[in-house]
Amino acid sequence: MSSSQVSRRRAIALAGAGVAGVAGAAAIGGALARQDSAPSAAPVADQVAFYGPVQAGIVTPAQDRLHFVAFDVLTKDRDRLIQLLKDWTAAAARMTAGKDAGEVGAVAGILEAPPDDTGEAIGLPAAGLTITIGFGPTLFRDATGKDRFGLAARKPAALADLPHFPGDTIDAALSAGDIGVQACANDPQVAVHAIRNLARIGMGVVSVRWSQLGFGRTSSTSTTQATPRNLFGFKDGTANLKAEETDLLREHLWAATGDGPEWMAGGSYMVTRKIRMLIETWDRTSLGEQEDIVGRTKGEGAPIGQGQEFDEPDLTSTSILADAHVRLAHPTTNSGAHLLRRGYNFVDGSDGLGRLNAGLFFIAYQRDPRTHFVPIQLNLARHDAMNEYLRHVSSGLFACPPGVSGPDDYWGRALFA
């Protein structure tokens, strides 16, 4: 059998399995050369650097697929939790490089033991996989206020529980969590493989609280990307924070020294909202009303009253209605707050009433939710004409630490130091 260190991609190249393998192998060199630079646009079979000052998967050009998971921490033992974070970090470094989750691999171990990789990604490239971790408010203090792991004093003020927003129909069982992990890739199997292996490695120490698949990106996080469409059929991600906007990212995305506890400097806060979209009733809404609700045209995606997608909306004009989504969400309506949105379309089958259980798994990163997501969402929840067709069913909030600097570092080291 092959060497225990063989990568999935090399296994294919050795077997002479053709184009994908060869292209993948070629990509390794490029990825290594890029390791310390900021993540940049990655073609489909490519690898995104895992190590770096910030976590990958935030300003990385949004990949096409998502598997998100929230875990409850079961153990009461701080050291076991730290060990798990180390194991996870190592597995994530391997998987994002297109390798098996464990050192032995899916099929190279002894026949008597379960493999240390589940195997469904054998033969698949890295596919731009990024794995991004965040810590929820309950990791610091549980519902009864107990300091579970001696972390309470390090809880950032910005990690304050999100308020109830008007119209919320949040299902607690689908919400929150001690640890959230976002896996994004250009191949759904690769994203699922990543989450599945983290859950397997964490068995007994953590348990899966809820999880969500997203099948298509609903945002662009780089000016190099074309704007995708959400399930209302509208371009989504036109006006978004983009990797290239370094000044805005510094101001609105990354937590800085002095913002709060030092372990979060270079990190970012992630808000997740699973938003059911009532697409059947939306589909019988007239085109004009749909455009009025969004505040943009459906075809081009231009602000109402302008011609081109990237024209600035004219909010002084009444042609963008008072209750239009883009007016209410726009930075000028929200004391200048910008979000980096990184959401995904989902369809979780149907709901038993002849309707698709579909919507948008909204993810937004920001420097401080109290000045960004919360006021924007309050504004939307109160006035957005789109609410007629939306139901927020799950809510999550996670503090994502800065990046992992190298093989000796691990996720959250500064937090537990």
Shortest distance (Å) from residue 357 CB to another protein = 12
> Is position 317 an interface residue for another protein (rule: CB under 8 A)?
no
Shortest distance (Å) from residue 31 CB to ligand HEM = 30
Distance between CA atoms of residues 364 and 269, nearest Å: 8
Residue 135's binding partner out of ligand HEM, another protein, none, with CB under 5 to 8 Å set by partner kind: none
Shortest distance (Å) from residue 66 CB to another protein = 27
Binding another protein (rule: CB under 8 A), the pick from 1, 146, 173, 284 is 284
Look-up: residue for tokens 């979000």?
339
Residue 99's binding partner out of ligand HEM, another protein, none, with CB under 5 to 8 Å set by partner kind: none
Which of the residues 8 through 67 are near another protein (CB under 8 A)?
Answer: none
> Is position 163 an interface residue for another protein (rule: CB under 8 A)?
no
Residue 140's binding partner out of ligand HEM, another protein, none, with CB under 5 to 8 Å set by partner kind: none
> Is position 187 an interface residue for another protein (rule: CB under 8 A)?
no
Question: Hey, CA dihedral for 201, 206, 207, 210, is it positive or negative?
Answer: negative
* Contact positions vs ligand HEM (CB under 6 A): 230, 232, 234-240, 273, 275, 277, 294, 296, 313, 325-326, 329-331, 339, 359-360, 362, 373, 376-377, 380, 390
CB atoms within 10 A of CB 9: 27
Binding another protein (rule: CB under 8 A), the pick from 211, 222, 379, 387 is 387
> Is position 319 an interface residue for another protein (rule: CB under 8 A)?
no
Shortest distance (Å) from residue 382 CB to another protein = 6
> Is position 348 an interface residue for another protein (rule: CB under 8 A)?
no
Q: What is the x/- site pattern for another protein, positions 388-407, by CB under 8 A? A: x-x-----------------
| Binding span for another protein by CB under 8 A among 45-53, 79-87, 280-288, 409-417 | 280-288
Residue 278's binding partner out of another protein, ligand HEM, none, with CB under 5 to 8 Å set by partner kind: another protein
Distance between CA atoms of residues 403 and 145, nearest Å: 29
Binding another protein (rule: CB under 8 A), the pick from 355, 405, 406, 407 is 355
Shortest distance (Å) from residue 391 CB to ligand HEM = 9
Residue 273's binding partner out of another protein, ligand HEM, none, with CB under 5 to 8 Å set by partner kind: ligand HEM
Task: Give the closest residue to 30 by CA, choosing from 19, 15, 40, 16.
Answer: 40
Residue 277's binding partner out of ligand HEM, another protein, none, with CB under 5 to 8 Å set by partner kind: ligand HEM
Collect contacts of 321-326 with beta carbons under 8 A, ≥24 apart. Answer: 321/292, 321/295, 321/385, 322/383, 323/293, 323/383, 323/384, 323/385, 324/292, 324/293, 324/294, 324/295, 324/385, 325/293, 325/294, 325/295, 325/380, 325/384, 325/385, 325/386, 326/239, 326/294, 326/295, 326/296
| Binding span for another protein by CB under 8 A among 72-80, 138-146, 159-167, 332-340 | 159-167
Residue 114's binding partner out of ligand HEM, another protein, none, with CB under 5 to 8 Å set by partner kind: none
Residues of this chain that interact with another protein (CB under 8 A) are 164, 166-169, 278, 280-281, 284-286, 289, 321-323, 352-355, 382-385, 387-388, 390
